[in-house]
């Protein structure tokens, strides 16, 4: 536990530098710790994908790339005793952040051009219940690169990361814009300032 706590302390110090050097933006009314996500626009460069609602994602489409705010999530998950509690916490935190994400897309100057969301994760169990669809990464080289970059997160987030190592495979997650905007149902969708 103390080793993970020390690693998270170092990560917390480095994270603002990483954030300043990327094009990532916080969502959630300017309080970056209130949302599970940090985002940026990206041009899709992969193979064509058709989502379950009929949305086609093709090379050159504009997507909102989502990054979990890992240091915040991992710190909150550190005291949790078992994998079930961690999974429930992660699910609830992401679910509660999706309306803010939907408002961000709705109010974005390029909202009409955004086709959907894309993310890459090794923690994709239950993603369908949140509205995401998982697709394998076809490029072996890119999959290996993402595995190396995501493995530290896996080591810090699960109790026995080496027990099911083969199950920890980087995967694309997609969600169409229409699917995301459904998260606004019943939410006060007054325009918020885009940060």
CB atoms within 10 A of CB 166: 5
* Cβ pair 13, 87 in contact under 8 A: no
The pLDDT assigned to 190 comes to 47
**Domain limits of the chain?**
2-184
* Cβ pair 83, 158 in contact under 8 A: yes
The pLDDT assigned to 53 comes to 94
* Cβ pair 118, 173 in contact under 8 A: yes
- CA distances, 147 to each of 38, 49, 89, 98 (Å): 20, 22, 23, 25
* This prediction's pTM: 0.80
Which two structure tokens, joined as six digits, stand for 104?
């961000």
Each residue's pLDDT tens digit, 108-167: 999 999 999 999 988 777 789 999 999 998 888 888 888 887 776 676 666 665 565 566
CB atoms within 10 A of CB 53: 14
144 contact partners, CB below 8 Å, separation of at least 6: none
């Amino acid at each position: 536990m103390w080793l993970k706590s020390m690693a998270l302390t170092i990560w917390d110090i480095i994270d603002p530098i990483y954030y300043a050097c990327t094009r990532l933006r916080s969502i959630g009314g300017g309080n970056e710790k209130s949302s599970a996500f940090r985002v940026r626009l990206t041009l899709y460069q992969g193979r064509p994908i058709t989502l379950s609602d009929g949305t086609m994602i093709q090379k050159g489409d504009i997507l909102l790339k989502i990054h979990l705010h890992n240091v915040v999530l991992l710190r909150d998950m550190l005291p949790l005793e078992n994998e079930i509690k961690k999974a429930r916490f992660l699910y609830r935190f992401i679910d509660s952040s999706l309306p803010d994400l939907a408002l961000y897309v709705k109010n974005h100057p390029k909202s009409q051009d955004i086709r959907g969301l894309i993310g890459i994760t090794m923690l994709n169990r239950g993603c369908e219940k949140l509205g995401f669809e998982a697709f394998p990464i076809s490029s072996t080289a890119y999959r290996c690169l993402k595995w190396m970059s995501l493995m530290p997160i896996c080591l810090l987030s699960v109790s026995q990361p080496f027990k099911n190592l083969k199950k920890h495979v980087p995967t694309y997650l997609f969600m169409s814009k229409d699917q995301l905007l459904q998260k606004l149902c019943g939410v006060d969708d007054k325009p918020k300032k885009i940060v």
